[in-house]
Structure 1
Amino acid sequence: MLHTSPPNPLDSPVQRELSLRAVTTGIVLGILLTPSNVYAGLKIGWSFNMSIIALLIGYGIWQGLARRSGAGVPWTLHESNINQTVASAAASIISGGLVAPIPAYTLLTGQQLDALPMVAWVFSVSFLGIWIAWYLRPSLLNDKALKFPEGMATLETLLHIYNHGHEAATRLKVLLGAAFVSGLAKWVDTFMWALPRWAPTGQLERLTFTADPSLLLLGFGGIIGIRVGLSLLLGALLAWGGLAPWLLGQGLVQLPPGSSGPQFAALVEWLLWPGVSLMVCSTLASLAIRLWSLHASTQAGGGVLWRVPKVGPAAGFGLAIVLVVSLQALLFGINLWMALLTIPLAICLAAVAARVVGATGIPPVGAIGQLSQLSFGIVAPGQVPINLMSANTAGGSAGQCTDLMNDFKVGRAIGATPRKQLIAQTLGIFVGSIVGVLAYLALIPDPQAMLLSEEWPAPAVATWKAVAQTLTHGLDSLSTSIRWSIFVGGLAGLLLGILDSMLPERHARLLPSTAALGLAFVLPASVSLMMAFGAVLTWLVSCRWPTVTERFAITAAAGLIAGESITGVGASLWAMLGNGG
C-alpha cells in the first residue's frame, strides 16, 4: 500500500523505535561504513556523513522484505531514524582523533598506542561529546536562529523516502551500482593489474602532476561542488606548479641523490607550512566573526548557551569526565589538574561548534582543534602530549556533539525520544571505536614510514603536527623561508576568512574556498586534479540535466566513495594477514 503523504508523528504515537532490528541494522552498517571515513580521512582529510546511505539501505532492505512477504512488519519512520543515528555515530568516530592528533602524536613522539588503549581513548572522547550535546540540547533546539541544515537535509531525505518509496529503491540501486563499480576498479588495480595512469616524465612527474584513476576522488569531487573543486585546482597550480619548481630552483628543498618519480615527501615538508597557516588563520577568523554574529543574535533573542536540564544523566556525564581525565593521565602521562582543565574547555568549544553547525551546517572541527592546541600551547608550552591529546579531547568531543545535535534536530521534528537517540548514539560510537581503530591499524601499521607520503598524505595529521611543532619548539626552529611562508599564508588566510564571512553570499561565492586552497598544498597535485575533475564533471552534468543531478549525484558519489574505501581497507587486511602468514 503506497503512502500518499509522509507519516506525521503528531497524528500517531511512536511505534517500534529502539527495536532490535533498527539497532542491529545500524550496527552492521556502521561496521561497513566506518572504515570508509577512516580511509578517506587519511587520503584527503575529509569525511562523509553516512546518514543518507544508512537511511536508503535500511529502508530498502526492510521495506523490501515486508513487501515480498506480504505479512512483514513495516520498517517505521522512527526505526529508520535510530538506524541512521547508530550508523552515522559509528562513521563519525574519526573526529575522536584517528586521522589527526593520534597519528600526529605517534609521528612526534615515536609512541604508538596499542589497539585496546586506542579504542578506549577514542570512545571516551566521543562519549564526552555525547553528554555535552545532551545538556546543550534544550537551549540550542529552542533557538529559532539555529536551523541545523545538515540535520534538516537528513530529515528531508527521511520523509521523502517514506513519501516516495519507488524513488528510494531507485536511489539505492544507483548507490549499490556505483559502489560495485568503484570497488571492482580498486580490486582490479590492487590485485590484478594497475589501472592506466598518465604519468609524464621529467619535471611534471616530480611535481606529482600525474593522473590518479581513483573513483573515490571522483566521488568526493561530485560532492564538494564547483567552487571547492576549482579552489583545489587553483591551490595545486599555486603550490605544485608554482612554488615547488621555485623551491627546487632556489635550492630551498633538496631532493635525495638519484631520486626519480614524484617527489611528494620532500616537497610537502616545506609546502605544508603555508597551506596549514592559510587554513588555520582563515577558519579561526571566520569562526570568530560567526561567533560574534551568533552572540549578537543570542543576546537579541534572549537565548542561553548552556542550560542544565534534569540531573538524571549526571552519572553518565560524570563517567565520561572520569574516563577522559584518567586516560589522559594513564596513557599520555598528563598531570591530573591539566587533564581536568580539558573539561571546561571541551564544553565551551563543543558549545561553540554546535552553534556554528546550527547556523551554517559546517562543523568547524578543524578550527576547534587548532584553537584548543593554541590554548594548551599557552597554558603548557613545550609539552607535546598536552598540546595534542588534551586538545584532542576538545576537538573530538566537539565533533560528536555536532553529530548528535543534528540527530536531535531530526528526532524532534518526527517526535522521536531523545533518550533513545542518546542510547543509539552511544552504541554507535562503541562500535565505531572498535572498527575505526582496527581499520586504522590495518591501513597504517607503520605511521612513521607511511604517513605524509604520496599514498597517504593525511592532511589533518600534517596540520596537527605542524601546529604542535610550532607551539613546542617555536618559530625559531624553522628556516627563514618557511617562516616567511607561514606569515604570507596566514595573512592571506586571515583576509580571505574575513571576506568570506562578511561579504554577501553572492559575492563570497566568487572567492576561493580557503579550506580547499590550503588543503591543495598538503595533497599531491594528482589528488587535487582528480577531485577538481569530479567537481567540474558533476557541474557540467547539472547544467545539462539538473533534475537527474539533483536526484542521483550525491547518491552515486557516496557509492563511489564507499566502494573504493571498503575495498581498500579489505585489501590492506588481506595484505596484513598474508604477511602474518
Structure 2
Amino acid sequence: MENPALSTLPPPRAQRELSARAVLTGAVLGVLLTPSNVYAGLKIGWSFNMSIIALLIGFGVWQGLARNRQMGPSWSLHESNINQTVASAAASIISGGLVAPIPAYTLLTGHQLDPLPMMAWVFSVSFLGVWIAWYLRPTLLNDHGLTFPEGMATLETLQHIYHHGKEAVARIKVLSAAALLSGGLKWIDEFVWAIPRWAPNPGLERLTFTLDPSLLLIGFGGIIGIRVGLKLMLGAALAWGGLAPFLIDHALVVLAPNASGPQFAKLVEWLLWPGVSLMVCATLTSLAVRVFQVPKRTPADPYPRAKVRFSSIPALGMLFAVTLVVLLQVQLFEIDLWMALLSIPLGICLAVVAARVVGATGIAPIGAIGKLSQLSFGLIAPGQVAINLMSANTAGGAAGQSTDLMNDFKVGLGIGATPHKQLIAQCIGISIGSVVGVLVYLALIPDPQTMLLTEEWPAPAVATWKAVAQTLTHGLASLSPEVRWAIVIGSGFGVLLGALDSLLPERAARWLPSTAALGLAFVLPASTSVMMGLGAVLTWLVSRGWPRITERFAITAAAGLIAGESITGVGASFWEMLRNI
C-alpha cells in the first residue's frame, strides 16, 4: 500500500539533491560545527544536534544569493536535506569515542594514539554504524510505533522555512546575534580581561560553588528544560554542598593544608563513583524495560512491510566496515582477533537497540550502550583495559552514527529523498568529522593525563568510562569500603528510578528526579550545574511571559550561545598552541 502522506510529493529526482554545492555547504558547516561538540563534550559530557543550525544557515546563504541573482538557482528542499545530513554526521563524530573511551584509554594506559590512527579508528566505528542504519532503515521506518522525534523536529523545521521564508531569516538573525554575544564574551575572557569567578565565600569556592561567566552553559540550560535544570542544581547541592563537606570533615578526602580555590580534582575522585553508578544503573534499567515494551501500532498502518535486501554494494560496504574495525582493534590496541570479531555482533545488536530507543523516545542511549558493552567485555575478558574500552567503543560509535542516520532517513522519508544519496552524504560527513574532530581534540587536550578530569575540563563521559573500566579491571575489592557502599547505594537508587521512569505513566514519570541530571551533577563542578540550571530557569520564566517568542526562538538562541563560545574557545586553544610552537 502506498503511503498517502508521500503520494503528493514529487519524484526524488524532480529536485536537485546530491549537488556539489549541497555537499560543500554541509562540509563547510561540518568543519565549523564539529569543534563545538568536541568542546562541549569535554566540558559537560553532552553534545548538540547540528541539523537545524545547518538547515538555517544553508537556507539563508543560498536563498539570499539566489534572490539577489548572484549565484545559481534557488536552494532546493532536497539540497537542504543533504546539507544537514553532511553537517550533522560530521558534528556527531564525537560518538566515535573522542570525548569518552579514547581519552579514558590514554588515562589508564598512558598510550596516546597518533593523529592518523585515531582518525582511522573514529571513522571505522562510525562507518560501521552507517551500514547498520542502512539495513535497519526499511524495518524501523516502516514501524509506525517509532516516531523518531528528533528527525521529526528537523523535518518540521525544514518544511516550515520553505513555507515561511521570513521566519527563517528571523531565526538566522537570532542565531547570529546569540553566537556573537557568546563568542564575544569568551574572547574578552580569553584575550582581554579574565572575568573573575565569583563565590560567596572561600569555603563555597573550595567546593566549586562559583558563578562561571559561560553563556554556553546558559544555552545548554535552555535546551535541557526546567525539570533537568532543577535536578542538576539539586544534584550539585547534594554532591558538592552535602556529601563533599562530609568527606572532608571525616578525612575520606584529604586536601592539601591551607588549600584555596576550587578543589574539584580531589573531590571528584570520590564523588564520581556514586554519580556514575546512579547514571549507569538507571539508564541500563530504563533501556532494558523499554526494549521489552512493544510499541503501539495504529490499526491502519500506512507503511508497507519492507524486507532488507542484501544487494552487492551495501553488502560490500558492510564487509569493508567490519574488516576495518576488526583489523584496527588488532593493530592499534593489540586485541586478540577472536575478541575483536566478537565486538561486531555485540555492536550490531546494541546499535539496533539504540536505534529503537531513539525512534521511540528521541533520546540516544549512547552512554548506556557503551557501559553495557564494557560490562559484557568485562565478563568475557576480565582485567583487560584495551578490550574493555576499545572493543566497547565499537558498539558506542556504531550506535551513535546509526541513530544519527536513522533520524536523517526519517526526514528523507517525509520529503521523498533518495536514501542512497543520504547514505553517501553521511559517509562524506563522517570522513570530514573524523579529521576535524581528532585535530580539535588533540589541540584542546595535548596532555590528557594532566588536563582531563579537572575543573577546566571535567570530561564527565571520560570519568564514567574510566571508572567502569577500573572497576571491571581491578574489581570492587580495590576500592575503599566507603566507596563500595556509595556504589551500592547509587546503583540501588538508579535501578529503582530507571524502572519507575519506564513503567509509570508519562504524567507520573515526569515528577521523578532526572537520574541523568542527578548523576551528572556528581561529576561536574557545582558551578557548571548551577549555570546550566540558571539557563533552564531563565528560559522557563521567559516562556511563561512570552510563550510564542520562546517557541520560535529559544532553541535557536541557545544553539547560537553554544556555537559562539565553543568555536571561540577552540580558536583560543589553537592560538595558544601556535604561540608555543
Output the TM-score relative to the length of structure 1.
0.96
CA contact (8 A) 1:179 1:563 kept: yes
Give me the whole-angstrom Cα distance separating, in 2, the residues matched to 1:309 and 1:555: 41
Deviation at 1:392, TM superposition (A): 0.1
CA contact (8 A) 1:7 1:159 kept: no
Quote the residue 1:100 is aligned against. 100
Deviation at 1:209, TM superposition (A): 0.4
Q: What does 1:327-346 correspond to in 2, within 5 Å?
A: 327-346=328-347
Deviation at 1:46, TM superposition (A): 0.3
Give me the whole-angstrom Cα distance separating, in 1, the residues matched to 2:11 and 2:269: 60
Quote the residue 1:3 is aligned against. none
Quote the residue 2:315 is aligned against. 314
Matched, 1:151 2:151: yes
Quote the residue 1:446 is aligned against. 447
1:264-299: CA deviations, max 9, x gaps? 00000000000000000000010011001038979x
| CA distance 1:311–1:297, shift in 2 (3 Å) | farther
CA contact (8 A) 1:8 1:414 kept: no
Matched, 1:396 2:410: no
Give me the whole-angstrom Cα distance separating, in 1, the residues matched to 2:304 and 2:484: 43
AA matched with 1:52: I
| CA distance 1:115–1:543, shift in 2 (3 Å) | same
| CA distance 1:138–1:123, shift in 2 (3 Å) | same
| CA distance 1:266–1:556, shift in 2 (3 Å) | same
Deviation at 1:395, TM superposition (A): 0.7
1:452-483: CA deviations, max 9, x gaps? 00000000000000000010000000001100
| CA distance 1:499–1:12, shift in 2 (3 Å) | closer
Q: Which region of structure 1 is more displaced relative to structure 2, 564-573 or 255-264?
A: 255-264
Quote the residue 1:182 is aligned against. 182
Give me the whole-angstrom Cα distance separating, in 1, the residues matched to 2:542 and 2:32: 30
AA matched with 2:101: P
Unaligned 5+ runs, structure 1? 1-5
Deviation at 1:405, TM superposition (A): 0.4
Give me the whole-angstrom Cα distance separating, in 1, the residues matched to 2:361 and 2:304: 18
SS of 1:293's partner is coil
Q: What does 1:492-503 correspond to in 2, within 5 Å?
A: 492-503=493-504
SS of 1:312's partner is helix
Q: Which region of structure 1 is more displaced relative to structure 2, 249-258 or 283-292?
A: 249-258
Quote the residue 1:508 is aligned against. 509
Cα root mean square deviation, aligned: 1.8
CA contact (8 A) 1:454 1:524 kept: yes
Quote the residue 2:89 is aligned against. 89
Quote the residue 1:348 is aligned against. 349
Quote the residue 1:428 is aligned against. 429
CA contact (8 A) 1:219 1:560 kept: yes
CA contact (8 A) 2:273 2:483 kept: yes
AA matched with 1:531: M
Quote the residue 1:270 is aligned against. 270
Give me the whole-angstrom Cα distance separating, in 2, the residues matched to 1:232 and 1:407: 31
1:202-228: CA deviations, max 9, x gaps? 210110000000000000000000000
Aligned residue-pair number: 573
Quote the residue 1:215 is aligned against. 215
SS of 2:147's partner is coil
Give me the whole-angstrom Cα distance separating, in 1, the residues matched to 2:297 and 2:533: 37
Quote the residue 1:379 is aligned against. 380
CA contact (8 A) 2:12 2:418 kept: no
| CA distance 1:240–1:306, shift in 2 (3 Å) | farther
Quote the residue 1:28 is aligned against. 28
| CA distance 1:51–1:472, shift in 2 (3 Å) | same
Give me the whole-angstrom Cα distance separating, in 1, the residues matched to 2:112 and 2:305: 42
Deviation at 1:196, TM superposition (A): 3.7
Give me the whole-angstrom Cα distance separating, in 1, the residues matched to 2:350 and 2:338: 19
Deviation at 1:260, TM superposition (A): 1.1
AA matched with 2:292: W
1:506-546: CA deviations, max 9, x gaps? 11111111001100000000000000000000000000000
CA contact (8 A) 1:17 1:78 kept: yes
CA contact (8 A) 1:90 1:430 kept: yes
1:322-371: CA deviations, max 9, x gaps? 11000000000001111011110111000000011011111110100000
Quote the residue 2:3 is aligned against. none
Give me the whole-angstrom Cα distance separating, in 2, the residues matched to 1:12 and 1:47: 32
Quote the residue 2:544 is aligned against. 543
| CA distance 1:101–1:380, shift in 2 (3 Å) | same
| CA distance 1:515–1:270, shift in 2 (3 Å) | same
1:140-198: CA deviations, max 9, x gaps? 11111111110000000000000000000000000011001100100000000012421
Quote the residue 1:410 is aligned against. 411
Quote the residue 1:571 is aligned against. 572
CA contact (8 A) 1:30 1:90 kept: yes
CA contact (8 A) 2:145 2:295 kept: no
| CA distance 1:73–1:255, shift in 2 (3 Å) | same
CA contact (8 A) 2:278 2:519 kept: yes
Deviation at 1:306, TM superposition (A): 8.7
Q: What does 1:273-292 correspond to in 2, within 5 Å?
A: 273-292=273-292
Q: Which region of structure 1 is more displaced relative to structure 2, 302-311 or 81-90?
A: 302-311
Give me the whole-angstrom Cα distance separating, in 1, the residues matched to 2:470 and 2:385: 8
Give me the whole-angstrom Cα distance separating, in 2, the residues matched to 1:196 and 1:259: 19
Q: How many percent of aligned residue pairs carry the same amino acid? A: 75
Quote the residue 2:479 is aligned against. 478
AA matched with 2:134: W
Give me the whole-angstrom Cα distance separating, in 2, the residues matched to 1:376 and 1:41: 25
Give me the whole-angstrom Cα distance separating, in 2, the residues matched to 1:227 and 1:460: 21
Give me the whole-angstrom Cα distance separating, in 2, the residues matched to 1:187 and 1:285: 43
Quote the residue 2:138 is aligned against. 138
| CA distance 1:535–1:572, shift in 2 (3 Å) | same
CA contact (8 A) 1:135 1:306 kept: no
AA matched with 1:576: M
CA contact (8 A) 1:14 1:78 kept: no
Q: Which runs of 4+ in 1 moved over 6 A?
A: 295-298, 301-306
Matched, 1:199 2:196: no
Matched, 1:226 2:226: yes
Give me the whole-angstrom Cα distance separating, in 2, the residues matched to 1:501 and 1:73: 49
CA contact (8 A) 2:10 2:416 kept: yes
| CA distance 1:539–1:206, shift in 2 (3 Å) | same
Q: Which region of structure 1 is more displaced relative to structure 2, 103-112 or 8-17?
A: 8-17
Q: Which region of structure 1 is more displaced relative to structure 2, 142-151 or 46-55?
A: 142-151
CA contact (8 A) 1:232 1:519 kept: yes
SS of 1:198's partner is coil
Deviation at 1:71, TM superposition (A): 7.8
Deviation at 1:312, TM superposition (A): 2.9
Output the TM-score relative to the length of structure 2.
0.96
CA contact (8 A) 2:11 2:416 kept: no
CA contact (8 A) 1:143 1:303 kept: no
AA matched with 2:513: P
